[in-house]
């Protein structure tokens, strides 16, 4: 193969006109051209990247599959969502005593392993830095707890909650850095409000998923500012704008609000309204947390809203907080095909365990059927 001869410099130079007006025009055209080239170069060198200085895509784009162009994809992917995970206080003490940082997840490891992506709300920073701000309860997990999150296979965790800032900005930023270093994508917090609101974009073997996470629970001092680290606040107008921004970047947009009333069995009217608006703005799924108890799953416009998944790993005393829900989300043809709630319990070692299957309600016997029919007859 012949190497093309490079042009001598003078050949590339623009011809000069004898007409001074034409020279001026040429100069202007050249300057315009150079400016356009500089702009194009800037755009190439500065693609739209996350302000968190990480590549927006965790994994490389998929290699083309053998399925013919245009044919629907056969492979199903499972995304698994769990509720609040708090790895400090009693949970830490238990892990430390047994010298086992994966302890909270061990009894449910198989279920976690069978998913293609795992998400939790991480209700504490993971750090050995910062200062205790002495909130009513202040949580900070030992960095060793990361071993457990890694072993359980969590890919994305929300730090948009009312405990991520318990040890101030230093611990929060350290936590975000440690999570990223461990290959776990934090969402809903950052070095400033742009970073906190930027979606975590994750590639699940070719399926592009955008995660957004927010909190509306005090302390409000945790809210990220223009030049202040913190968490993304659940401001409706901003949230809807974030969803519209994320929509064209991904196949699925999933919003994880930390909201509502602790121990309440139902969401508030405002939550329901906002959840509907989020779906209308383009979200595919809403997965909420904070109340520490499970709340309703609502279908809305062919999408699903889980208002609260309750706890997954926590050490609260109230027995109602020892039950939670996992959400198993099956994705086919890049759309959510099935949403299955899977109940869990938290045992006395603060481990998430699958709730034992309830015995099936026995079929009514012939006698009971007869008497029921007779009862119906007599009631007429």
For Zn ion, the binding residues (CB under 5 A) are: 161-162, 290
Largest CA distance in the chain: 113
Instruction: Pick between residue 52 and residue 162 the one whose CB is nearest to Zn ion.
Output: 162
* 283 versus 293: smaller Cβ distance to Zn ion: 293
Q: Which is nearer to Zn ion, 161 or 308 (CB)?
A: 161
Tell me the closest approach of the beta carbon of residue 35 to Zn ion, in angstroms.
Answer: 51
Q: For residue 147, list its beta bridge partners.
A: none
Two tokens, residue 44: 């190439």
Min dist. Cβ of residue 161 to Zn ion (A): 5
Q: Are 229 and 169 in contact (CB under 8 A)?
A: yes
Q: Which is nearer to Zn ion, 111 or 162 (CB)?
A: 162
CB 201 within 8 A of CB 156: no
Helix (H, G, I), strand (E, B) or coil at 289: strand
Where do we find the tokens 């290959």? 183
Q: What is the number of the residue whose Cβ is closest to Zn ion? A: 290
Contact 201, 249 (CB under 8 A): yes
CB of 256 to Zn ion, least distance (A): 12
- 232 CA to centre of own chain: 13
Phi-psi region of 37 (alpha: psi -120 to 50; beta: other; left: phi over 0): alpha
Would you say 290 or 303 has its CB closer to Zn ion? 290
- Report, in Å, the least distance between residue 45 CB and Zn ion: 41
Is residue 369 classed exposed, middle or buried when 0-12, 13-18 and 19+ CB atoms within 10 A define those classes?
A: exposed
Which of 164/254 has CB closer to Zn ion?
164
Cα gap 22→31, rounded to integer Å: 14
Based on CB atoms, which residue is closest to Zn ion, 122 or 239? 122
Shortest Å distance, C-beta 219 to Zn ion: 11
The minimum distance between CB 37 and Zn ion, in angstroms, equals 51
CB of 160 to Zn ion, least distance (A): 10
The sign one gets for the Cα dihedral 176, 178, 181, 186 is negative
Bridge partners (DSSP) of residue 59 are none
Phi/psi region, residue 263 (left: phi>0; alpha: psi -120 to 50; beta: rest), is left
Which CB, 160 or 204, lies closer to Zn ion?
160
CB of 85 to Zn ion, least distance (A): 11
- In terms of phi and psi (left: phi > 0; alpha: psi -120 to 50; beta: otherwise), the region of 275 is alpha
Task: For Zn ion, give the closer residue by CB, 139 or 154.
Answer: 139
CB contact at 8 A, 259 and 288 = yes
Decide if 255 contacts 239 (C-beta within 8 A). yes
Q: Residue 352: enclosing H or E segment and its boundaries?
A: strand 352-354
CB 230 to Zn ion: min, Å: 15
Residue positions counted in the chain: 380
């Amino acid at each position: 193969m012949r190497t093309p001869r490079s042009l001598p410099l003078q050949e590339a130079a623009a011809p000069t006109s004898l007409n001074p007006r034409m020279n001026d025009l040429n100069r202007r055209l050249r300057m315009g051209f150079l400016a356009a080239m500089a702009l194009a170069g800037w755009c190439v060198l500065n693609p739209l990247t996350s302000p968190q200085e990480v590549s927006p895509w965790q994994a490389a784009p998929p290699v083309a599959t053998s399925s013919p162009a245009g044919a629907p994809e056969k492979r199903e992917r499972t995304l698994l969502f769990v509720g609040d995970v708090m790895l400090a206080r009693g949970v830490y003490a238990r892990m430390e005593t047994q010298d086992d940082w994966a302890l909270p997840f061990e009894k449910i490891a198989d279920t976690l392993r069978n998913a293609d992506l795992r998400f939790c709300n991480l209700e504490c920073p993971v750090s050995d830095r910062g200062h205790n701000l002495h909130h009513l309860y202040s949580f900070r997990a030992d960095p060793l707890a990361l071993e457990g999150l890694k072993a359980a296979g969590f890919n994305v965790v929300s730090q948009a909650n009312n405990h991520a800032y318990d040890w101030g900005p230093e611990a929060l930023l350290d936590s975000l850095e440690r999570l990223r270093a461990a290959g776990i994508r934090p969402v809903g917090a950052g070095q400033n409000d742009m970073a906190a609101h930027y979606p975590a974009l994750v590639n699940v073997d070719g399926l592009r998923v955008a995660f957004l996470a927010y909190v509306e629970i005090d302390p409000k001092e945790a809210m990220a500012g223009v030049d202040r680290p913190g968490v993304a606040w659940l401001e409706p107008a901003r949230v809807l704008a974030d969803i519209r921004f994320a929509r064209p970047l991904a196949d699925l947009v999933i919003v994880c609000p930390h909201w509502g009333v602790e121990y309440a069995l139902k969401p508030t009217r405002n939550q329901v309204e906002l959840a509907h608006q989020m779906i209308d703005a383009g979200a595919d799924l809403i997965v909420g947390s904070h109340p520490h108890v499970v709340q309703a799953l609502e279908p809305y416009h062919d999408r699903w809203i889980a208002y609260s998944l309750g706890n997954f790993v926590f050490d609260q005393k109230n027995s109602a907080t020892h039950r939670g829900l996992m959400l198993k989300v099956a994705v086919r043809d890049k759309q959510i095909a099935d949403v299955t709630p899977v109940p869990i319990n938290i045992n006395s070692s603060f481990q998430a365990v699958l709730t034992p299957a309830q015995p099936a309600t026995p079929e009514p016997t012939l006698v009971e059927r007869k008497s029921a029919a007779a009862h119906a007859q007599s009631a007429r």
